[in-house]
Structure 1
Amino acid sequence: SSRGRFHVSPILEALSGRFGGLRIVPVQPRPDAAAIRIVVTGIRGSRAGLSLMPALVLHGSEGHGFTPRADGINNGLDALV
Protein backbone atom coordinates (compact mmCIF):
# COMPACT_ATOMS: atom_id res chain seq x y z
CA SER A 1 0.00 0.00 0.00
CA SER A 2 1.30 3.45 -0.90
CA ARG A 3 -0.45 5.11 2.07
CA GLY A 4 -1.14 8.15 -0.08
CA ARG A 5 2.50 8.62 -1.05
CA PHE A 6 3.92 8.70 -4.52
CA HIS A 7 7.21 9.23 -6.26
CA VAL A 8 7.81 11.79 -8.97
CA SER A 9 10.02 9.45 -11.00
CA PRO A 10 7.15 7.39 -12.53
CA ILE A 11 5.51 10.62 -13.69
CA LEU A 12 8.74 11.86 -15.25
CA GLU A 13 9.41 8.46 -16.86
CA ALA A 14 5.92 8.43 -18.40
CA LEU A 15 6.55 11.85 -19.97
CA SER A 16 10.14 11.25 -21.11
CA GLY A 17 10.71 10.93 -24.83
CA ARG A 18 7.40 12.63 -25.64
CA PHE A 19 7.46 15.80 -23.57
CA GLY A 20 10.23 18.19 -22.64
CA GLY A 21 10.47 21.54 -20.93
CA LEU A 22 8.88 19.93 -17.90
CA ARG A 23 8.01 22.30 -15.08
CA ILE A 24 7.13 21.12 -11.61
CA VAL A 25 5.16 23.52 -9.42
CA PRO A 26 4.75 22.51 -5.75
CA VAL A 27 1.43 23.61 -4.21
CA GLN A 28 1.55 24.60 -0.54
CA PRO A 29 -1.49 25.36 1.62
CA ARG A 30 0.44 27.99 3.62
CA PRO A 31 3.94 29.53 3.39
CA ASP A 32 5.37 27.44 6.23
CA ALA A 33 3.73 24.13 5.22
CA ALA A 34 5.06 21.32 3.06
CA ALA A 35 3.66 20.94 -0.45
CA ILE A 36 0.41 18.95 -0.64
CA ARG A 37 0.33 18.59 -4.42
CA ILE A 38 2.48 19.13 -7.48
CA VAL A 39 1.51 20.31 -10.93
CA VAL A 40 3.62 19.02 -13.84
CA THR A 41 3.46 20.70 -17.24
CA GLY A 42 5.42 19.94 -20.40
CA ILE A 43 5.73 20.73 -24.08
CA ARG A 44 5.23 17.92 -26.56
CA GLY A 45 8.32 17.28 -28.65
CA SER A 46 10.51 19.72 -26.71
CA ARG A 47 14.06 18.85 -25.73
CA ALA A 48 14.24 21.50 -22.99
CA GLY A 49 15.23 20.43 -19.50
CA LEU A 50 13.35 20.06 -16.26
CA SER A 51 12.61 23.09 -14.05
CA LEU A 52 11.45 23.19 -10.45
CA MET A 53 9.36 26.35 -10.23
CA PRO A 54 8.56 28.48 -7.15
CA ALA A 55 5.76 27.04 -5.07
CA LEU A 56 2.18 28.20 -5.41
CA VAL A 57 1.13 29.18 -1.89
CA LEU A 58 -2.66 29.09 -1.57
CA HIS A 59 -3.24 30.99 1.70
CA GLY A 60 -1.33 33.47 3.83
CA SER A 61 -0.02 32.65 7.30
CA GLU A 62 -3.35 33.65 8.89
CA GLY A 63 -6.94 33.52 7.72
CA HIS A 64 -8.59 31.65 4.89
CA GLY A 65 -8.20 34.16 2.07
CA PHE A 66 -6.20 33.28 -1.02
CA THR A 67 -2.81 34.83 -1.71
CA PRO A 68 -2.82 37.39 -4.54
CA ARG A 69 -1.16 34.86 -6.89
CA ALA A 70 -3.64 32.07 -6.07
CA ASP A 71 -6.54 34.50 -6.42
CA GLY A 72 -5.25 35.67 -9.80
CA ILE A 73 -4.94 32.09 -11.05
CA ASN A 74 -8.44 31.23 -9.78
CA ASN A 75 -9.90 34.23 -11.60
CA GLY A 76 -8.01 33.72 -14.86
CA LEU A 77 -5.90 36.85 -14.37
CA ASP A 78 -2.58 35.07 -13.83
CA ALA A 79 -0.89 31.95 -15.16
CA LEU A 80 0.43 29.09 -13.06
CA VAL A 81 3.71 28.95 -14.99
Structure 2
Amino acid sequence: MDIAFSPCPNDTFVFHAWVHGLIEGAPALNVTYADIDKTNNWAAKGKGPEVQKISYAALPWVLNEYALIPCGGALGRGVALWF
Protein backbone atom coordinates (compact mmCIF):
# COMPACT_ATOMS: atom_id res chain seq x y z
CA MET A 1 0.00 0.00 0.00
CA ASP A 2 1.27 3.46 -0.87
CA ILE A 3 1.24 6.18 1.79
CA ALA A 4 2.51 9.75 1.98
CA PHE A 5 3.10 11.88 5.04
CA SER A 6 5.49 14.57 6.16
CA PRO A 7 8.82 13.77 7.81
CA CYS A 8 7.90 15.93 10.81
CA PRO A 9 8.25 14.20 14.20
CA ASN A 10 4.50 14.10 14.86
CA ASP A 11 3.73 12.29 11.61
CA THR A 12 6.64 9.87 11.84
CA PHE A 13 5.57 9.02 15.39
CA VAL A 14 1.95 8.40 14.38
CA PHE A 15 2.91 6.04 11.55
CA HIS A 16 6.03 4.45 13.12
CA ALA A 17 4.54 1.09 14.09
CA TRP A 18 2.79 0.61 10.75
CA VAL A 19 5.79 1.71 8.66
CA HIS A 20 8.11 -0.65 10.53
CA GLY A 21 5.83 -3.70 10.32
CA LEU A 22 4.96 -3.75 14.02
CA ILE A 23 1.20 -4.11 13.52
CA GLU A 24 0.27 -7.72 12.93
CA GLY A 25 -1.82 -8.25 9.82
CA ALA A 26 -1.40 -4.66 8.56
CA PRO A 27 -0.39 -4.31 4.90
CA ALA A 28 3.21 -3.42 4.13
CA LEU A 29 3.75 0.22 3.21
CA ASN A 30 5.65 2.01 0.47
CA VAL A 31 6.29 5.40 2.11
CA THR A 32 6.73 8.76 0.41
CA TYR A 33 7.84 11.58 2.68
CA ALA A 34 6.45 14.88 1.42
CA ASP A 35 5.69 18.35 2.71
CA ILE A 36 2.10 18.83 3.88
CA ASP A 37 1.50 21.33 1.05
CA LYS A 38 2.36 18.59 -1.45
CA THR A 39 0.05 16.00 0.11
CA ASN A 40 -2.76 18.58 0.34
CA ASN A 41 -2.33 19.39 -3.36
CA TRP A 42 -2.07 15.75 -4.44
CA ALA A 43 -5.24 14.89 -2.56
CA ALA A 44 -7.11 17.93 -3.92
CA LYS A 45 -6.21 16.85 -7.46
CA GLY A 46 -7.15 13.21 -6.80
CA LYS A 47 -3.54 12.16 -7.29
CA GLY A 48 -0.87 10.65 -5.12
CA PRO A 49 -0.82 7.59 -2.87
CA GLU A 50 -3.84 5.63 -1.63
CA VAL A 51 -3.30 6.96 1.90
CA GLN A 52 -2.16 10.50 2.55
CA LYS A 53 -1.80 12.58 5.68
CA ILE A 54 -3.25 16.01 4.87
CA SER A 55 -4.07 19.06 6.93
CA TYR A 56 -7.53 19.22 8.47
CA ALA A 57 -8.27 22.41 6.55
CA ALA A 58 -7.90 20.52 3.24
CA LEU A 59 -10.42 17.83 4.18
CA PRO A 60 -13.57 19.43 2.67
CA TRP A 61 -11.90 19.55 -0.77
CA VAL A 62 -10.95 15.86 -0.85
CA LEU A 63 -13.92 13.97 0.62
CA ASN A 64 -15.20 13.19 -2.88
CA GLU A 65 -12.02 11.17 -3.58
CA TYR A 66 -10.83 10.07 -0.13
CA ALA A 67 -12.27 8.79 3.14
CA LEU A 68 -11.19 9.94 6.56
CA ILE A 69 -9.47 7.20 8.55
CA PRO A 70 -10.66 7.23 12.18
CA CYS A 71 -7.18 7.35 13.68
CA GLY A 72 -7.04 10.62 15.56
CA GLY A 73 -5.47 13.93 14.77
CA ALA A 74 -4.37 17.24 16.12
CA LEU A 75 -6.14 20.52 15.71
CA GLY A 76 -4.99 23.77 17.26
CA ARG A 77 -6.15 27.34 17.43
CA GLY A 78 -3.70 30.20 17.24
CA VAL A 79 -0.80 27.83 16.75
CA ALA A 80 2.11 29.56 15.07
CA LEU A 81 5.84 29.77 15.48
CA TRP A 82 7.47 33.15 15.27
CA PHE A 83 11.22 33.62 15.14
TM-score, normalisation: structure 1: 0.25
Q: Whose relative contact order is higher, 1 or 2, with alpha carbons under 8 Å and at least 6 apart?
A: 2
Q: Which has the higher strand share?
A: 1
Q: Which has the larger radius of gyration?
A: 1
- Name the structure with the higher helix share: 2
TM-score in terms of structure 2 length: 0.24
